[in-house]
Structure 1
Amino acid sequence: MYPVNFEDVRSRILEYSWSSKLEVREIPAPTRISPFSVAIEGSVVIEGDELGNGRLILLHNPSGSEAWQGTSRFVAMIRAEVDPSMASDPLVGNVAWSWLTDSLNTHHAIYHAEAGTVTSVVSRPFGQLSTDPESNHIEVRASWTPTFSTSEDVSSHLESWSDLCLLSCGISPMPDEITAIAPRRAKLA
Structure 2
Amino acid sequence: MYPVAFDELRSRILDYSWSDKLEVREIPAPTRVSPFSVAIEGSVSIRGDELGSGRLILLHNPSGSDAWEGTSRFVAMIRADVDPSMASDPLVGHVAWSWLTDSLTSHCAVFHAEAGTVTSVVSRPFGRLAADPESNHIELRASWTPVLSATEDVDSHLASWSDLCLLSCGISPAPDEIATIPPRRAKLA
TM-score w.r.t. length of structure 2: 0.94
1:178 CA drift (Å): 1.3
What is the one-letter code of the residue matched to 1:81?
A: D
Contact 1:6 1:60 in 2 (8 A): yes
Q: Distance in 1 between matches of 2:8 and 2:179?
A: 33
Give the SS at the match of 2:163. Answer: helix
Counterpart of 1:125 in 2: which secondary structure? coil
Residue number in structure 2 paired with 1:51: 51
Contact in 2 for aligned 1:52/1:78 (Cα 8 Å): yes
User: 1:68 is matched with which residue?
Assistant: 68
> Offset at 1:180?
2.8
Aligned-residue Cα RMSD (Å) equals 1.2
Instruction: Report matched runs for 1:1-189 at 5 Å.
Output: 3-180=3-180
Amino acid at match of 1:66: D
Measure how far apart 1:177 and its partner are: 1.1
Aligned 8 A contact 1:109 1:157 in 2: yes
Q: CA deviation at 1:29?
A: 0.3
Superposed CA deviations along residues 42-97 of structure 1, whole A, max 9, x for unmatched, are 00011221110010000000000000000000000000000000000000000000
Q: Which has the larger radius of gyration?
A: 1
The DSSP-based 3-state class of the residue aligned with 1:162 is helix
Q: Distance in 2 between matches of 1:136 and 1:95?
A: 16
Q: What is the rounded CA distance, in whole Å, between the counterparts of 2:36 and 2:93 in structure 1?
A: 31
Inter-partner Cα distance in structure 2 for 1:178 and 1:153? 26
2:186 aligned residue: none
Structure 2 unaligned regions, length at least 5: 183-189
Distance in 2 between residues matched to 1:103 and 1:181, nearest whole Å? 21
Give distance in 2, aligned partners of 1:54 and 1:2: 31
- Per the alignment, do residues 143 and 2 of structure 1 end up closer, same or farther by CA in structure 2, a change over 3 Å counting? farther
Asked if structure 2 preserves the Cα contact closer than 8 Å seen for 1:53 and 1:165, the reply is yes
Q: Return the letter of the residue paired with 2:146.
A: P
CA separation of 1:38 and 1:98: change in aligned 2, threshold 3 A: same
SS in 2 for 1:138: strand
| Separation in 2, partners of 1:117, 1:80 | 14
* TM-score of the aligned structures, taking structure 1 as reference length: 0.94
- Please give the alpha-carbon distance, in whole angstroms, between the structure 2 residues aligned to 1:180 and 1:69: 39
